């Protein structure tokens, strides 16, 4: 270990990892319910300026309008999830979304778009039987995060910005969580933060794929820390690809960022390289089918070679009212214009892009995990969405369960109570892993990232089979070994971005191994997981979900039966005869 490695100590009652919708709601609810708690939010970047909630364009699904209902929203969610959702989690989502949307408006000050009569406007999103997506134009996430961040800044909530979590540290006796080992990125030092309660809300971020929507700082850190601690992850094969990621060439990071789903909901067309519509060949709903179906349809069209300039396809709104497009999708019009595309009267090149991890850490409806004192919410968790997340259910998931986590933490945490002794061997092991590249001669790391992107896209992406998954597993093993031979300059660890790139890739490769293992185990096709060698959805009544664990650096797989606690396949909660 380099001699200049420094470790500082810090204490707090509650430590929240992440400053998206889940983390900020968790912090606010914990502080509101128990004001004497010292609550600290630690974030990899700047609070309010990073994370995926801020990037949400489309909106927030919630049953508000006459004709809609919690039951209808629930059925859309479990049918979209192909019946592997944990149903009590899905029910909590749709029921509490009604509470949280009013909290966002009435207590936090969010302004959402309105109808002429003053009611909240709700737009169409794919895969739903009712137009229930609340929004602020096409910049909904910015509205939510700005208001949440304002409230955090206005309260006595501590902040640790530019701090990345690298390991969840158990108690010396193994009885509960003791805290989190972090790196202060500004100073280049380690900081052991001891806490009674820890909320894991770092978000997902499938940036292991060639085309991806999240920013580069999103590298599945929470899932990687969880699996190293011994937590169980479920549904890891379920990686969602958003159908319409902007493609502007190989040399710009804007490639992969979303062209929002509301465009298709409003009547936008997908076109092949010759300007012809094609989605009718894959689903009777056409462009308004669920994300998994549209992404597969697009990928199949791309394989035919009838593609656009950069290898993608097109989305167009030119057949629609231009005034409506400019008004309702102002942010999208401007983003496309920045890249040389005319969304109003032309064609915009798009490609399916890795967007969201439906799988994640197993947790309970009150956000507890199997480790006492450790809670989880948002995209770090699995079970809510099943095999396919409906657009608009993501930010609802984060805010609903973030608030619940904060309430649970407030009940179970005592201000100023003694902290348990951390397991020093776990701290030493985590530091040793992080410092591994600091003991080696510097080398180029970009080649590992590029190989990871390409192989995950080709072998474990939208289409998979036994042969491709075997290739992916072998490649990931090779890349993990190759990464362990790469060193970075360690003369100055403050903002040493190459060092953090190395840690990012270590986490992404580990989570990718989990994805490939789960995808290999599931020998049927469900939602986002499509096995070309097992293309059928089979035996819904006896559905199982995958579970992934790690022991002695080896991924272990299992399956568990889905418990249909509310409704079974073939049944419905919707009364079709009701007025």
124: left (phi over 0), alpha (psi -120 to 50) or beta: beta
DSSP state of 254: T
Whole-angstrom distance, CA of residue 430 vs CA of residue 426: 6
- Token pair belonging to 152: 């955090």
Cα dihedral across residues 542, 545, 551, 555: positive or negative: positive
Residue keyed to tokens 């009013």 = 102
DSSP state of 288: G
Q: Exactly one of 264, 455, 500, 513 is catalytic; name it.
A: 264
DSSP state of 116: T
Cα distances from 283 to residues 72, 123, 358, 388, 467, in angstroms, run 21, 21, 23, 16, 28
Residue keyed to tokens 């889940």 = 22
| Complete edge-to-edge strand list for the sheet that includes strand 544-551 | 360-361, 233-234, 544-551, 554-561
CA nearest neighbour of 86 among 366, 389, 379, 383: 383
Q: Exactly one of 86, 212, 242, 385 is catalytic; name it.
A: 242
Whole-angstrom distance, CA of residue 538 vs CA of residue 526: 9
* Cβ 472 vs Cβ 459: under 8 Å: yes
- Token pair belonging to 18: 């992440």
CA nearest neighbour of 168 among 403, 317, 26, 370: 370
Our answer to whether residue 464 is catalytic in this structure is no
DSSP 379-447: GGB-SSSTT-PPTTHHHHHHHHHHHHHHHHHHHH--TTPPPPPB-HHHHHHHHHHHHGGGGS-B---HH
State whether residue 4 is helix, strand or coil.
coil
- Token pair belonging to 164: 């990345």
Residues 404/407/412/414 CA torsion (nearest 10 deg): 150
CA nearest neighbour of 41 among 147, 141, 162: 162
Our answer to whether residue 242 is catalytic in this structure is yes
The Cα angle at residue 288 between residues 95 and 265, in degrees rounded to 5: 75
Whole-angstrom distance, CA of residue 29 vs CA of residue 165: 22
Whole-angstrom distance, CA of residue 247 vs CA of residue 260: 13
| Complete edge-to-edge strand list for the sheet that includes strand 269-271 | 239-246, 347-357, 313-316, 269-271
Burial class (CB in 10 A: 0-12, 13-18, 19+), 554: exposed
Whole-angstrom distance, CA of residue 553 vs CA of residue 252: 36
Whole-angstrom distance, CA of residue 284 vs CA of residue 279: 8
Report the catalytic residues.
Answer: 242, 264
């Amino acid at each position: 270990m380099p001699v200049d490695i420094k470790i500082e100590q810090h204490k707090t009652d509650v430590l929240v990892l992440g400053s998206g919708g889940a983390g900020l709601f968790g912090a606010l609810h914990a502080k509101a319910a128990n004001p004497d708690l010292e609550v600290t939010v630690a974030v990899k970047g700047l609070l309010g300026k990073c994370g995926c909630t801020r990037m949400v364009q489309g909106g927030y699904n919630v049953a508000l309008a006459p004709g809609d209902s919690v039951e209808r929203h629930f059925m859309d969610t479990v049918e979209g999830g192909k019946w592997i959702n944990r149903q009590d989690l899905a029910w909590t989502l749709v029921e509490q979304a009604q509470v949280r949307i009013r909290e966002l408006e009435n207590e936090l000050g969010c302004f959402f778009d309105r109808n002429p009569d003053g009611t909240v406007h709700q737009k169409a999103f794919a895969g739903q039987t009712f137009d229930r997506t609340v929004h602020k134009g096409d910049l909904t996430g910015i509205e939510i995060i700005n208001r949440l961040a304002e409230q955090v800044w206005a309260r006595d909530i501590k902040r640790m910005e530019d701090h990345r979590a690298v390991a969840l540290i158990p108690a010396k006796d193994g009885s509960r969580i003791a805290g989190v080992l972090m790196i202060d990125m500004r100073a280049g030092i380690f900081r052991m933060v001891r806490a009674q309660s820890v909320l894991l809300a770092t978000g997902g971020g499938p940036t292991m794929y060639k085309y991806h929507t999240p920013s580069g700082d999103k590298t599945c850190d929470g899932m990687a820390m969880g699996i190293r601690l011994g937590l169980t992850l479920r549904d890891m094969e379920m990686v969602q690809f958003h159908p319409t990621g902007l493609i502007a060439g190989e040399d710009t990071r804007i490639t992969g960022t979303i062209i929002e789903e509301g465009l298709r909901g409003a009547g936008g067309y997908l076109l092949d390289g010759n300007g012809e519509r094609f989605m009718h060949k894959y689903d009777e709903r056409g462009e308004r089918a669920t994300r998994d179906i549209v992404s597969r349809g697009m990928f199949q069209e791309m394989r035919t070679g009838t593609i656009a300039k950069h290898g993608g396809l097109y989305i167009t709104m030119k057949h629609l009212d231009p005034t409506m497009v400019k008004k309702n999708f102002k942010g999208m019009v401007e983003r496309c214009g920045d890249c040389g595309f005319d969304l109003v009267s032309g064609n915009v090149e798009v490609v399916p892009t890795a967007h969201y991890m439906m799988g994640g850490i197993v947790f309970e409806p009150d956000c507890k995990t199997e480790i006492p004192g450790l809670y989880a919410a948002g995209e770090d968790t699995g079970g809510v969405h099943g095999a396919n997340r409906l657009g608009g259910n993501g930010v609802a998931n984060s805010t609903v369960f973030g608030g619940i986590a904060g309430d649970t933490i407030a009940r179970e945490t005592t201000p100023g109570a003694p902290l348990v002794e951390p397991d020093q061997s776990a701290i030493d092991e985590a530091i040793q892993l992080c410092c591994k590249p600091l003991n080696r001669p510097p080398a180029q790391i970009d080649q590992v990232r590029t190989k990871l992107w390409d192989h995950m896209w080709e072998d474990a992406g939208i289409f998979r089979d036994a042969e491709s998954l075997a290739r992916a597993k072998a490649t990931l093993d090779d890349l993990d070994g190759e990464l362990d031979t790469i060193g970075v300059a360690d003369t100055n660890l403050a903002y040493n971005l190459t060092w953090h790139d190395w840690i990012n890739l270590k986490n992404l490769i580990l989570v990718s191994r989990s994805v490939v293992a789960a995808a290999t185990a599931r020998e049927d096709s469900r939602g986002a997981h499509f096995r070309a060698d097992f293309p059928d959805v089979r035996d819904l009544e006896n559905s199982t979900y995958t579970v992934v664990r790690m022991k002695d650096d080896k991924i272990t797989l299992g399956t568990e039966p889905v418990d249909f606690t509310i409704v079974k396949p073939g049944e419905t909660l919707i009364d079709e005869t009701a007025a």
